Amino acid sequence: MTFSLTDYQQQLEQKHQLTLDEFGEFDINRIDVFASPPEQYRMRAEFKAWHSANGVSYAMFEPGSRKAYDVETFPAGSVVIQTLMPKLRDHLNAHEILRRKLFQIEFLTSTKGESIISLVYHKFLDEQWQASAQNAAQHLHARLIGRSRGQKLVITDDFIYETFEVAGKTYQYQQLEGSFTQPNGFVCRDMLNWAAQHSAGFGGDLLELYCGNGNFTLPLSRNFNKVLATEVAKSSIHSALHNCSLNQISNITFVRMSAEDMVGALDKVRTYERLKEVELDEYHFSTVFVDPPRSGLDPATNAFVSRFDNIVYISCNPISLKENLQLLYRTHRVERMALFDQFPYTEHRECGVVLRKRKN
pLDDT score at 1: 53
Domain of 143, in residue numbers: 44-157
14 and 53 part of one domain: no
**What Cα–Cα distance (Å) separates residue 287 from each residue in 57, 71, 275, 312, 336?**
49, 45, 20, 8, 15
Distance of alpha carbon 42 from alpha carbon 108, whole angstroms? 9
**What Cα–Cα distance (Å) separates residue 82 from each residue in 12, 57, 71, 175, 244?**
24, 14, 11, 20, 31
Given 103, 124, 157, the domain boundary residue is 157
134 and 265 part of one domain: no
In a domain, 165, yes or no: no
**Span 265-276, average pLDDT:** 88
Crossing angle (nearest 10°) for helices 8-22 and 318-331:
40
198 and 341 part of one domain: yes
Instruction: Please tell me the total number of residues recorded for the chain in this structure.
Output: 360
Strands (E) located in 53-122: 55-61, 68-71, 102-109, 115-121
Strand partners, 332: 357
202 and 153 part of one domain: no
In a domain, 170, yes or no: no
Query: Is the model's pLDDT at 336 over the cut of 80?
Result: yes
10-63, pLDDT tens digit by residue? 999 999 999 999 999 999 989 999 999 999 999 999 999 999 999 999 999 877
In a domain, 166, yes or no: no
145 and 240 part of one domain: no
pLDDT score at 57: 96
**Span 298-312, average pLDDT:** 95
Query: Which of 188, 244, 316, 351 is flagged as catalytic?
Result: 316
Query: Is the model's pLDDT at 6 over the cut of 80?
Result: no
Q: Which helix (H) or strand (E) holds 273?
A: none
pLDDT score at 2: 54
Q: Which residues contact 201 (CB under 8 A, 6 or more apart)?
A: 223
Sign of the CA dihedral 84, 89, 93, 96? positive
pLDDT score at 3: 55
- Among candidates 360, 44, 346, which has minimal Cα distance to 188? 44
Q: Which helix (H) or strand (E) holds 343?
A: none
Query: Residue 231 in contact with residue 210, Cβ under 8 Å?
Result: yes
Sign of the CA dihedral 306, 321, 9, 192? positive
- Give the count of domains, the chain: 2
In a domain, 113, yes or no: yes
Query: Residue 115 in contact with residue 126, Cβ under 8 Å?
Result: no
Q: Which residues of 31-54 are buried (b: 16+ CB within 10 A; e: fewer)?
A: beebbbebbbbbbbbebbbbeeee
299 and 338 part of one domain: yes
In a domain, 172, yes or no: no
Distance of alpha carbon 83 from alpha carbon 98, whole angstroms? 19
108-152, pLDDT tens digit by residue? 999 999 999 999 999 999 999 999 999 999 999 999 999 999 999
**Span 184-190, average pLDDT:** 97
Catalytic-residue membership of 350 = yes
69-111, pLDDT tens digit by residue? 889 999 999 999 999 999 999 999 999 999 999 999 999 999 9
pLDDT score at 70: 87
284 and 262 part of one domain: yes
Distance of alpha carbon 360 from alpha carbon 339, whole angstroms? 30
Query: Which of 211, 231, 350, 351 is flagged as catalytic?
Result: 350
206 and 313 part of one domain: yes
168-180, pLDDT tens digit by residue? 999 999 999 999 8
290: domain CATH number? 3.40.50.150
